[in-house]
Amino acid sequence: MYLPGFAAYITLGFTQTMSDTTIDKLAFLALGWLLGLLGPVIVDGIKRRRENTLGRAAILTELTELAGILSTAAYGARMRLGTADRQFLEWLKITLEQYATTPKLQEFIPRLRTQLSWTDDQLRAVAQHMSADEGKGTMLQHYPVPLLDSRVSALWSFDTSFQRQLLEIRRNVAILDDVVDRSRKYFDMTFTKLEGNNYQLVTENLTQTYELYAERAMTVVDQIKSLRVGRE
């Protein structure tokens, strides 16, 4: 009388055990399937974050070097114009103390300190002397940013503020390149035979490119400064 009930109890317990085991197996299968789907996404996310970190560091290094170079390029242009005044020299000294990444740029800092020890009259005299020869031109240079250019298509992966700042810097570098091209055109024209007042017009246009170059170079440097400050 009791055996059938006992058998039913055993059967029910076995069925429940089998049911629980099946559910556990299905849960593990579902978990494995889900991880299989999410695994590549997770790995890709980790890889992208790592690449962004490395890419950001590489771009900042490139722009740090550019800041040092462009600041001295602005110095050359302003010396040619005779406008390297005390305010500019102070700006240049502070910039190079932060961004002089090569021995050549670092050697420039003591010269600036010496110049800044002069009186304003002495500074003006030196500036006038450097700009006295109107027939002497200065060949402006292009300074490429290959790392920044290579990452332009992937800038969306950076935060919005960083994207905007990098794009603004790249835009101003492009404007700077355009000024260099125009300057070289006028520079070459000074070696051709020009009639009437054409030579004077060409030299005036050449001088204007020096002014634009110095102004735009300083803008780029200041933007890089802001970019670095925002990352530190």
3-state secondary structure of 46: helix
In 3D, which of 57, 76, 54, 120 has the Cα closest to residue 214?
Answer: 76
**pLDDT score recorded for residue 2:** 46
**pLDDT score recorded for residue 193:** 86
Q: What angle do CA 56, 157, 60 make, to 5 degrees?
A: 15
Statement: residue 15 has pLDDT above 90: no
**pLDDT score recorded for residue 216:** 97
Whole-model pTM: value is 0.75
- Between 156 and 204, where is the model more confident? 204
pLDDT class of 139 with cuts at 50, 70, 90 = confident
**pLDDT score recorded for residue 116:** 95
At 166-192, the pLDDT tens digits run 999 999 999 999 999 999 999 999 888
Statement: residue 214 has pLDDT above 50: yes
**pLDDT score recorded for residue 127:** 82
Of 7-11, 53-57, 169-173, 204-208, least confident by mean pLDDT is: 7-11
In 3D, which of 107, 106, 102, 75 has the Cα closest to residue 88?
Answer: 75
Of 107-116, 129-138, 183-192, 207-216, least confident by mean pLDDT is: 129-138
Which residue type does 202 have?
Answer: V
